[in-house]
């Protein structure tokens, strides 16, 4: 079978920097190839060369046999490309955006409406066809961009991190669409920051510093793991990880949600020593067991060892020096953030609907919800950037309506877009924010030195911010947000689109801040990150539908039971299981499936019988404790059912 995508010695240099070097890969029809790697590894540059947007410095690439450089016109006839930045026109409706792309691709008028309706049904977007693109949530924008790309039925689909910043429900919908495309023999090349998504690909390539240093099926790439993996379950995973990092002889220790993963060449000895250390510190321990490494384990382990770039030696690993420069770290009763009936309307649309909660001083408070739920609107009201329509809010003891300027002096705010000026250098950005926060002279100099050290950019003070990778921009944005040593920090989806290694380093910084008494209010789409928070609130359609610790939400809110199903070709098995009366819901989860059922034993028998009848290979089926993603999806679907019943 001839490859639909082929690259040989593909190279792109920018001056002396080799962004992509000597890359060889191929993707067959009906195959998903996942391209993963740290920020700045060369993923987007590779896709832009394959799409014909960027000429290679050396090497060649072909799409459906047509040379990308010399036959670009024919290449475009067979190709659809979805970049990280939305190519949508926000003032046009869903329908008008699709029609525009149909004209752009030269889709004949005859049969166009039928194709458009098919794609709208395919993506569950038909109810929104008259809505302006600017009024869609992030998840719906992603799906609309994919529909626009598919309007001309491409043979090849290039997707550059298509699910960044998209909630778990929308991500599941997006992958269902991709699997349906495989049945039409579409070749898909997707770069992703979500390693659970890479598990679902036919093959993956691990890219680092512009070079592809591992390619194969997910199982083959997992063979790069240097040692065995021990998973330590504890409700105090962060505290356990600190003890083990300091005192356990092993390859690496990393936190994954509510588990600590130990990579070791001597698993039996490490298990006993870890147990002794944890129990000796009086920390709770639920279980220590050896388990198969995930792609994320491999990614973190391999790249931690090799280094994710020549400047990583400057990445901070020690404690962050944070000292308060004022005494007002919250109200007198120890509550840093308080919302009571907080509401915001835009015309007739209620974005935030009478939400109430309190955040004690020094707590890491997680704010979860699907795209468009009202998370950013709530944060903007609490930061004094947006006046509430109703209700009350107090931050650091100040009223959000009457004292917004006082609030701004006592908080750090990091928005989804990192709030940096890309045409300024690293040092100029820090100077700018220092000026905003009233820092100057002798006080600014040591804070500036601290900021570049913390962000890992000591040797790049004079580099333009535009050339920094996502992980570096993220740490610089955090440094700017806490330059004035605020007691309360608001982070609005701060790790969206950042690779797993950068996310872990970022959360190390967050924990250092929290341990010094800083209150952290963070919104996120990563369910693993939700596990790191002391408490969580789930907001949906502007209303708060759940509040509690991660453990309380996982053990107290789901009435259904979860079965984990490990099997090859999970997307094919999923279709069979979805038809079983014993199954309420089935969804892709990493390389396997999570099946929502009421009776685990009856459902397990039905699943095994169905797979035997259809001659589908089955690994293991076992009941597991729900994860945060299971809880998140369950609560959203329960709210949808409740609203439908009252409609």
Q: What pLDDT, on the 0 to 100 scale, is given for residue 313?
A: 32
Chain-wide mean pLDDT for the chain? 85
Span 412-424, average pLDDT: 82
Span 423-438, average pLDDT: 90
Q: Phi, psi at residue 414, to the nearest 5°?
A: -120, 110
Q: What is the pLDDT of residues 532-575, one digit of tens each?
A: 899 999 998 899 999 999 888 888 887 888 999 988 878 888 88
pLDDT band for position 332 (cuts 50, 70, 90): low
pLDDT band for position 647 (cuts 50, 70, 90): low
Q: What pLDDT, on the 0 to 100 scale, is given for residue 70?
A: 86
Span 364-376, average pLDDT: 87
Among 72-76, 274-278, 337-341, the range scoring the smallest mean pLDDT is 72-76
Q: What pLDDT, on the 0 to 100 scale, is given for residue 111?
A: 85
State how far the Cα of 19 lies from the Cα of 644, in Å rounded to an integer: 51
- Spell out the residues 6+ positions from residue 207 whose beta carbon is closer than 8 angstroms to its own: 23, 35, 36, 37, 41, 42, 43, 46, 213
For the sheet containing 228-233, what is the strand order?
A: 252-256, 259-264, 228-233, 287-290
In whole angstroms, how far apart are CA 5 and each of 51, 159, 212, 220?
Answer: 10, 13, 16, 21
Task: Please give, one letter per residue, the 3-state secondary structure of 347-374.
Answer: CCEEEEEEEEEEEECCCEEEEECCCCCC
pLDDT band for position 25 (cuts 50, 70, 90): very high
Domains belonging to the chain, first-starting first, are 5-216 (3.40.50.300), 226-292 (3.30.70.980), 335-553 (3.40.50.300), 559-625 (3.30.70.920)
- pLDDT at residue 324 above 60? no
Q: What pLDDT, on the 0 to 100 scale, is given for residue 342?
A: 96
| Global confidence as pTM | 0.80
Q: What percent of the chain has pLDDT over 90?
A: 36
- pLDDT at residue 319 above 50? no
Among 212-221, 297-306, 383-392, 582-591, the range scoring the smallest mean pLDDT is 297-306
State how far the Cα of 261 lies from the Cα of 264, in Å rounded to an integer: 10
Span 185-189, average pLDDT: 94
Q: Choose between 257 and 105: higher pLDDT.
A: 105
pLDDT band for position 371 (cuts 50, 70, 90): confident
pLDDT band for position 487 (cuts 50, 70, 90): very high
- Spell out the residues 6+ positions from residue 51 whose beta carbon is closer than 8 angstroms to its own: 68, 79, 81, 158
Span 62-80, average pLDDT: 89
Span 107-117, average pLDDT: 88
Span 366-372, average pLDDT: 84
In whole angstroms, how far apart are CA 20 and each of 55, 221, 306, 504?
Answer: 12, 20, 18, 25
Q: What is the pLDDT of residues 162-174, one digit of tens each?
A: 887 677 777 887 8
State how far the Cα of 160 lies from the Cα of 611, in Å rounded to an integer: 35
State how far the Cα of 579 lies from the Cα of 459, in Å rounded to an integer: 58
Half-sphere exposure of 348 (CA within 13 A, CB side): 0
Angle at alpha carbon of residue 461, lines to 457 and 464, rounded to 5° = 100
Q: Under a CB-based contact definition with an 8 Å cutoff, are residues 574 and 586 in contact? A: yes
- pLDDT at residue 88 above 70? yes
Q: What is the pLDDT of residues 221-269, one digit of tens each?
A: 988 888 899 999 988 888 898 899 899 999 888 887 778 999 999 999 9
State how far the Cα of 345 lies from the Cα of 273, in Å rounded to an integer: 56
State how far the Cα of 97 lies from the Cα of 418, in Å rounded to an integer: 28
Which DSSP state fits 425?
B
pLDDT band for position 321 (cuts 50, 70, 90): very low
SS3 state at 40:
coil
SS3 state at 499:
coil
Q: Which of 159, 214, 148 is nearest to 190 (CA)?
A: 159
Span 53-73, average pLDDT: 91
* Residue 594 CB neighbour total at 10 angstroms: 20
State how far the Cα of 583 lies from the Cα of 533, in Å rounded to an integer: 31
Which DSSP state fits 107?
-
Q: Which H or E element spans position 108?
A: none
Q: What pLDDT, on the 0 to 100 scale, is given for residue 95?
A: 93
Q: What percent of the chain has pLDDT over 70?
A: 94
Q: Choose between 416 and 5: higher pLDDT.
A: 5
């Amino acid at each position: 079978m001839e490859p639909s995508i082929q690259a040989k010695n593909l190279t792109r240099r920018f001056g002396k920097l080799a962004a992509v070097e000597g890359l060889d890969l191929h993707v067959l029809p009906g195959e998903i190839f996942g391209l993963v790697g740290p920020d700045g590894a060369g993923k987007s540059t590779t896709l832009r060369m394959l799409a014909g947007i960027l000429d290679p410095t050396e090497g060649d690439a072909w799409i459906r046999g047509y040379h990308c450089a010399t036959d670009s016109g024919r290449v475009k006839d067979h190709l659809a490309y979805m970049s990280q930045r939305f190519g949508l026109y926000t003032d046009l409706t869903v329908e008008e955006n699709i029609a525009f792309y149909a004209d752009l691709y030269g889709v004949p008028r005859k049969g166009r409406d039928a194709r458009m309706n098919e794609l709208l049904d395919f993506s569950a977007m038909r109810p929104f066809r008259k809505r302006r693109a600017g009024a869609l949530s992030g998840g719906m924008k992603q799906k609309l961009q994919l529909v626009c790309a598919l309007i001309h039925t491409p043979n090849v689909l290039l997707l550059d991190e298509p699910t960044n910043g998209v909630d778990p429900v929308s991500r599941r919908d997006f992958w269902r669409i991709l699997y349906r495309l495989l049945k039409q023999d579409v070749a898909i090349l997707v770069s992703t920051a979500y390693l659970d998504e890479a598990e679902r690909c036919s093959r993956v390539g691990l890219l680092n510093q512009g070079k592809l240093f591992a390619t194969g099926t997910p199982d083959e790439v997992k063979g790069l793991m240097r040692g065995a993996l021990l998973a330590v379950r504890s409700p105090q995973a962060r505290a356990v990880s600190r003890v083990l990092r300091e005192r356990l002889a092993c390859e690496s220790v990393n936190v994954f949600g509510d588990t600590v993963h130990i990579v070791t060449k001597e698993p039996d000895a490490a298990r006993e020593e870890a147990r002794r250390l944890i129990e000796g510190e009086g920390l709770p321990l639920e279980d220590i067991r050896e388990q198969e490494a995930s792609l994320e384990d491999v990614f973190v382990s391999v790249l931690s060892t090799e280094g994710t770039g020549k400047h990583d030696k400057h990445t901070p690993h020690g404690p962050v020096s944070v000292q308060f420069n004022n005494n007002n770290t919250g109200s007198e009763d120890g509550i840093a953030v308080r919302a009571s009936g907080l509401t915001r309307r835009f015309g007739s649309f209620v974005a935030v609907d009478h939400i109430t909660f309190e955040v004690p001083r020094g707590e890491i408070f997680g704010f979860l919800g699907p795209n468009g739920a009202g998370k950013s609107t709530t944060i903007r009201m609490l930061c004094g950037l947006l006046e509430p329509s109703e209700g009350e809010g107090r931050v650091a003891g100040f009223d959000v309506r009457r004292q917004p300027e006082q609030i701004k002096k006592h908080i750090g705010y990091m928005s989804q877009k990192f709030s940096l000026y890309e045409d300024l250098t690293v040092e100029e950005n820090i100077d700018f924010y220092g000026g905003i926060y009233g820092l100057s002279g002798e006080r600014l100099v040591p804070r500036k030195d601290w900021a570049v050290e913390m962000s890992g950019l000591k040797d790049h003070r004079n580099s333009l911010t535009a050339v920094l990778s996502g992980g570096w921009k993220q740490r610089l944005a955090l440094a700017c947000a806490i330059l004035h040593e605020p007691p309360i920090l608001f982070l609005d989806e701060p790790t969206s689109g950042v690779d797993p290694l950068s996310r872990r380093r970022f959360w190390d910084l967050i924990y250092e801040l929290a341990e010094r008494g800083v209150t952290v209010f963070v919104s996120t789409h990563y369910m693993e990150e939700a596990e790191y928070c002391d408490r969580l609130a789930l907001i949906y359609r502007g209303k708060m539908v759940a509040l509690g610790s991660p453990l309380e939400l996982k053990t107290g809110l789901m009435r259904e039971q979860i079965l984990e199903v490990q099997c090859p070709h999970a997307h094919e098995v999923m279709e069979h299981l979805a038809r079983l009366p014993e199954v309420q819901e089935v969804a892709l989860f990493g390389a396997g499936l999570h099946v929502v059922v009421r009776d685990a034993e009856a459902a397990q028998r039905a699943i095994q019988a169905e797979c035997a009848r259809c001659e589908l290979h089955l690994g293991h089926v076992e009941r597991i404790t729900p994860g945060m993603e299971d809880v998140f999806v369950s609560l959203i679907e329960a709210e949808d059912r409740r609203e439908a019943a009252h409609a």
